[in-house]
């Protein structure tokens, strides 16, 4: 059995839709009931992964993967009532966890925007790292007092010197320096953002990696619960009649997780239940295939793909010798 950490970094606003309207929003995003943190449930993520790999097969981008590989990983496709009525509805060998929020961009007055996270979000991320074999040394999880926050650099200290806090979305939060925040920003920047491909002379993500090292802010739970509610994007849309160009449906409001958000999920590749993988050879082969398909690649998740939503980058973190 092999366990991986899958990072998702949004290239465009992401809409992983919830079942019901919420707070006057017709099409809200998925959220955790207890925390209200945005999330992409494992079933939604698993379906998107399957579709992304199938599309790559059609484009013949990955020589290692074929239809049998997809079935081994994800299980047989859903029954359609045709020739597959006797198909065995077996589970696949890839276990997909929920993609939980790591950090979310929020507007600020001083430096345009910052990535907001919390002790809860970093604590969950630390647990995910703990599940990896040969996991790196994880920093302590900073927990700022209620109503305050931590930063890694003096870049955010001017407001404190004036006896004020920083405006983060709808909140005013005083910030203090904390060494652990810098360690976390470096870890997330190194692992969540794609690295240059072999032979590539420039790093397209170097700017964002540098900014993340300066602008990751750990805020208290009360402020974070307000930021994850108030700093998502809301778009009012209508559907026009093709002939008259008048409004046929709407207006309706859709919610999106902002561009440059960071999420993380645990993927577990288990040995074949048939016992054909006693020596781990088959599992190791599929682990390499997953790295080829998901590490440093771009694909789409969630709704509104025809208007450019849900594009993201992924990184797959795990011990190759696991």
- pLDDT tens by residue, 5-30: 999 999 999 999 887 777 788 899 99
Q: Which of 88-102, 115-129, 228-242 has the highest mean pLDDT?
A: 115-129
For residues 137 and 123, the model is more confident at 123
For residues 287 and 260, the model is more confident at 260
CB 186 within 8 A of CB 172: no
- pLDDT for residue 65 is more than 60: yes
Task: Provide the phi-psi class of 275: left if phi over 0, else alpha when psi is between -120 and 50, else beta.
Answer: left
Query: Could you report the per-residue pLDDT of 261-274, keeping only the tens digit for each?
Result: 999 999 998 875 54
- pLDDT for residue 45 is more than 70: yes
Task: Using only the alpha carbons of the chain, give its radius of gyration.
Answer: 21
How far from chain centre, in Å, is Cα 145?
27
Per-residue pLDDT at 322? 40
Omega before 251 within 30 of 0, i.e. cis: yes
| Separation of alpha carbons 156 and 224, rounded Å | 18
Neighbours of 177 (CB within 10 A): 15
Per-residue pLDDT at 223? 95
- Rounded mean pLDDT of 62-68? 69
Sequence-separated (6 or more) residues with CB below 8 Å from residue 311: 10, 11, 12, 298, 299, 300
Two tokens, residue 281:
């050879």
Sequence-separated (6 or more) residues with CB below 8 Å from residue 295: 314, 315, 316
- Rounded mean pLDDT of 133-159? 86
């Amino acid at each position: 059995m092999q366990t991986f950490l899958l990072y998702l970094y949004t290239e465009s606003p992401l809409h992983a839709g919830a079942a019901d309207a919420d707070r006057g929003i017709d099409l809200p995003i998925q959220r955790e009931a207890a925390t209200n943190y945005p999330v992409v449930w494992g079933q939604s993520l698993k379906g998107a992964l399957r579709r992304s790999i199938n599309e790559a097969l059609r484009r013949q981008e990955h020589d290692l993967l074929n239809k049998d590989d997809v079935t081994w990983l994800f299980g047989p496709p859903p029954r359609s009532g045709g020739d597959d009525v006797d198909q065995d509805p077996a589970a696949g060998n890839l276990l997909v966890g929920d993609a939980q929020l790591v950090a979310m961009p929020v507007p600020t007055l001083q430096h345009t925007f910052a990535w907001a996270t919390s002790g809860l979000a970093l604590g969950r991320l630390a647990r995910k790292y703990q599940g990896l074999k040969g996991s790196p040394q994880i920093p302590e999880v900073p927990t700022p007092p209620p109503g305050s926050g931590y930063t890694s650099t003096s870049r955010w200290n001017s407001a404190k010197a004036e006896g004020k806090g920083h405006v983060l979305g709808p909140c005013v939060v005083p910030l203090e320096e904390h060494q652990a925040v810098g360690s976390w920003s470096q870890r997330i920047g190194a692992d969540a953002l794609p690295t240059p491909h072999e032979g590539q002379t420039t790093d397209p993500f170097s700017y964002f990696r540098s900014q993340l090292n300066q602008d990751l802010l750990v805020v208290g739970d009360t402020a974070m619960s307000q930021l994850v509610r108030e700093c998502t994007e809301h778009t009012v849309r209508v559907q026009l009649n093709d002939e008259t160009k008048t409004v046929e449906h709407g207006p309706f409001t859709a919610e999106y997780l902002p561009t440059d958000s960071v999420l993380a999920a645990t993927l577990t590749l288990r040995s074949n239940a048939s016992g054909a993988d006693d020596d781990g050879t088959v599992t190791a082969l599929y682990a390499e295939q997953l790295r080829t398909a998901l590490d440093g690649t771009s694909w789409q998740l969630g709704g509104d793909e025809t208007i450019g939503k849900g594009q993201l980058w992924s990184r797959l973190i795990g011990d190759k010798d696991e």
